[in-house]
Amino acid sequence: MLLDADAIRRGCPGAEVSTADHLCRAEIERFRAVSKEGVPLTVGCTQESPLFSEVAAETGGNVTFVNVREAAGWSKDGGRAGPKMAALFAAAAEQVPDIPMVSLASEGVALIYGRDERAIEVGRLLAEHLDVTVLISNPGELEPPRLNEFPIVKGTISIAKGHIGAFELTVDNYAAPLPSSRGSMIFATPRDGAISRCDLLIDVSGSAPLFPAHDLRDGYLRADPRDPAAVLRIALKARDLVGNFDKPRYVTFNADLCAHSRSKIIGCRRCLDLCPTGAITPAGNHVAINAEICAGCGQCAAACPTGAASYALPPADALLRKIRTMLKAYHLAGGERAIILLHDEEHGTAMIDALSRHGDGLPDNVIPLAVNEITQVGIEFIAAAFSYGAAGVRFLLRAKPRHDLAGLYKTIALAEPILTDLGFGAGRTATIESDDPDALGEALRTIAPAEVALSRASFMPVGSKTEVMQLSLRELHRVAPAPVDIVALPEGAPFGTVNVNVEGCTLCLSCVSACTTGALSDDPDRPVLRFAEAICVQCGLCQATCPEKVISLTPQLDFRAATARLRVIKEEEPALCVRCGGAFGVKSSVDRVVAKLEGQHWMFKDSAKRLDVVKMCADCRVITMSEENFDPFAGVPARPAPRTSEDYLRERDKPSET
């Protein structure tokens, strides 16, 4: 392959760039000499990374690796791939932040769930390595074992929850076999609701999975009992699942920012609807994320409008800095109309390798970017990519995804009207769902030319997910080919405005109390309702809380909102206390109450002083009632004494007057 060192020098200014013909063998001493210098070193080869890492360990070198061969050089466009190589080298040098970890422990207590002798056979395979129990659902004729090496019981799992090291199962129709079983196993009287706890759950029942997105549940191993090879694979995997394990804490969560509910009224539930594993559950006014169950799809973080949930592998700002560095190097090296291809390691890297080895390779303007999960990407990434000068974004997915991709499709649906209305054109973001490398290459080579930013942004994304999202959208609007102020968005979008029927609004301010972001606010000195669209996340709590039902939501993106003043929705004259003169409410509401009570209610028919109490603030009302011995029940007939059992008995025993 052609190594365009000049293009890499242009894209990575200040870096010392050198090429080699056989660095991992004949020229290994060149690498050894450079690594001894102790400067950060990036090698454009991943195939020989074990060898280079070994040499670097001996010399104390600091080395990272990037694959420029399959990603760029091995292509029919390899002669023009210099700018892409520069982008890949520059991105590889970006610092990766530390990832928080979650500790899991398994002592090897395994429950094997099946329906016949095949489950017992799996138990025999694992009995020497794990503490095994076999649970048979609806067993037929089972021959009693000659030697009880491990427990064999019957039952059907009705409820399953937990994760590796902490599974809890509810078993119905549970019964142990009688030790006197002769020709076939005879079980004792069954019972429902038995509880079983285990570290590993091996499912060879052939029934429906016990968990949603079961492939992502750590410690749950499932195989079709009719496939001996698959059963053997999970048995071998189970043998190694003993000890202590660390997994990334994929999502960081700040409950104070969550807009799930207030006062038992449900608002935002985007993450609950998208989580494929059930790791997210309601917990009062916010949700709770079980880090042990979370499989890291990232859809909750991508959809969270307040930033309460944010992805940590890497954080949003770190991922945006990487795309910034990548596109900046690409353009400095002379590249044009870059297409960002987002992919995961397991599926996407294998597809790119196969396309480069057996096909035409990636086009020279397609820059692959590996992420932990495609679904972790939110609108902030798309906005930043286009503001930095990308011409398109493609998401490489499996033909049969491992979990629901609704969150990603919603992100694309949100980006589509924004990019279209700003002049970038339709279809700039899309998925490629295939397991065929040739189909991937065809899809990438048929992408139509697109409009790009008039001037590329260069902002540095720093801060929380919400902050970088707002910054990315502002910069996208600034450099757009045809900027507009307002973009209409689909239902459920995290941006929008609040509409209030001011005629029906009583300024009770229940909506202000419910608003989690402070988008709706009041004024302590006067009756007023104000709105800040820039921080509204369309959670719907104000709409659900409003007692008059006069609030509605309109999803839209107003690029002027960030610099706009607070919009006054409704303002009224305050009610002044007739005793102290202090403001204590809304004058129109007090007048309306007085009009309904005056001459109508028995408490206020004869006394003007009593009606004046309604026109007072809370403090003066108490003082007045105390000074004048105000009795709200004066003149009201006494209530009859409560009847007791003695009254009924007395009436029963009273002689009849007939």
Q: Residue 503's domain is classified under what CATH number? A: 3.30.70.3270
Closest by CA to 249, choosing from 314, 163, 204, is: 314
Q: Are residues 553 and 422 in the same domain?
A: no
For the chain, the average pLDDT equals 93
| pLDDT-derived band at 292, boundaries 50, 70, 90 | very high
What span, in angstroms and rounded, lies between the C-alpha atoms of 210 and 111?
Answer: 13
Q: Is residue 279 pLDDT above 80, yes or no? A: yes
What span, in angstroms and rounded, lies between the C-alpha atoms of 538 and 329?
Answer: 38
What is the mean predicted confidence (pLDDT) over 494-520? 94
Q: Could you tell me if 187 and 174 are in contact, meaning their C-beta atoms sit under 8 angstroms apart?
A: no
What span, in angstroms and rounded, lies between the C-alpha atoms of 40 and 62?
Answer: 5
Helices (H), 175-227: none
Q: Are residues 151 and 220 in the same domain?
A: yes
For residue 55, CA distances in Å to 18, 23, 30, 93 come to: 19, 12, 11, 20
What span, in angstroms and rounded, lies between the C-alpha atoms of 179 and 426?
Answer: 71
State the pLDDT at residue 599: 64
pLDDT digits (tens, 9 = 90+) for 427-457: 999 999 999 999 999 999 999 888 888 899 9
Has this prediction a pTM greater than 0.75?
yes
What span, in angstroms and rounded, lies between the C-alpha atoms of 568 and 476?
Answer: 28
What span, in angstroms and rounded, lies between the C-alpha atoms of 380 and 223?
Answer: 39
State the pLDDT at residue 635: 62
* 393 inside domain: yes
* 504 inside domain: yes
Q: Is residue 588 pLDDT above 90, yes or no? A: no
The residues, ordered by sequence, that sit 6+ positions from 657 with a Cβ below 8 Å of its Cβ are none
Q: Could you tell me if 129 and 277 are in contact, meaning their C-beta atoms sit under 8 angstroms apart?
A: no
Closest by CA to 85, choosing from 318, 338, 389, is: 338
Query: Which residue reads 């990636």 in tokens?
Result: 362
Q: Is residue 604 pLDDT above 70, yes or no? A: no
Among residues 292, 311, 330, the one where a domain terminates is: 311
pLDDT digits (tens, 9 = 90+) for 174-194: 999 999 999 899 999 999 999
State the pLDDT at residue 623: 85
Q: Are residues 288 and 367 in the same domain?
A: no
Closest by CA to 368, choosing from 273, 279, 457, 437, is: 437
For the chain, the domain total comes to 4
**Residue 241 CB neighbours (<10 A):** 21
Q: Are residues 193 and 254 in the same domain?
A: no
CATH at residue 280: 3.30.70.20
Residue 375 identity (one-letter amino acid)? T
Among residues 424, 447, 479, the one where a domain terminates is: 479
* 608 inside domain: no
State the pLDDT at residue 658: 52
* 510 inside domain: yes
State the pLDDT at residue 641: 84
State the pLDDT at residue 625: 78
Q: Are residues 153 and 221 in the same domain?
A: yes
* 146 inside domain: yes
Q: Could you tell me if 457 and 514 are in contact, meaning their C-beta atoms sit under 8 angstroms apart?
A: no
* 290 inside domain: yes
Q: Are residues 282 and 368 in the same domain?
A: no
For residue 450, CA distances in Å to 390, 424, 473, 478, 555 come to: 10, 7, 19, 18, 27
pLDDT digits (tens, 9 = 90+) for 320-336: 999 999 999 999 999 99
Q: Are residues 119 and 70 in the same domain?
A: no
DSSP 652: H
Six-digit token string for 595: 């009009």
Q: Could you tell me if 339 and 310 are in contact, meaning their C-beta atoms sit under 8 angstroms apart?
A: no
Q: Are residues 299 and 333 in the same domain?
A: no
| pLDDT-derived band at 621, boundaries 50, 70, 90 | confident
* 410 inside domain: yes
Cβ-in-10-Å burial (0-12, 13-18, 19+) of 652 comes to exposed
Closest by CA to 184, choosing from 149, 140, 152, 153, is: 140
Q: Are residues 296 and 323 in the same domain?
A: no
* 638 inside domain: no
State the pLDDT at residue 50: 95
Strand 496-500's sheet: what is its strand order? 486-488, 551-558, 496-500
| pLDDT-derived band at 652, boundaries 50, 70, 90 | confident
Map residue 393 onto helix, strand or coil: strand
The residues, ordered by sequence, that sit 6+ positions from 59 with a Cβ below 8 Å of its Cβ are 32, 35, 36
Spacing of C-alpha 602 from chain mean position:
58
Cβ-in-10-Å burial (0-12, 13-18, 19+) of 96 comes to exposed
Q: Are residues 286 and 258 in the same domain?
A: yes
What is the mean predicted confidence (pLDDT) over 537-562? 96
Q: Are residues 166 and 77 in the same domain?
A: no
**Residue 262 CB neighbours (<10 A):** 21
Strand partners, 203: 113, 222
Strand 200-203's sheet: what is its strand order? 194-198, 167-175, 152-161, 131-136, 109-114, 200-203, 220-222
Among residues 571, 588, 620, the one where a domain terminates is: 571
3-state SS, one letter per residue, for 246-297: EEECCEEECHHHCCCEECCEECCCHHHHHCCCCCEEEECCEEEECCCCCCCC
Map residue 494 onto helix, strand or coil: coil
Map residue 610 onto helix, strand or coil: helix
pLDDT digits (tens, 9 = 90+) for 199-212: 999 999 999 999 99
Strand partners, 133: 111
State the pLDDT at residue 346: 94
Instruction: Please report the DSSP string for 342-353 in residue order.
Output: EE-IIIIIHHHH
Residue 490, preceding bond cis, omega within 30 degrees? Answer: no
pLDDT digits (tens, 9 = 90+) for 239-263: 999 999 999 999 999 999 999 999 8
- Residue-range definition of the domain harbouring residue 541: 496-571
Q: Are residues 254 and 218 in the same domain?
A: no
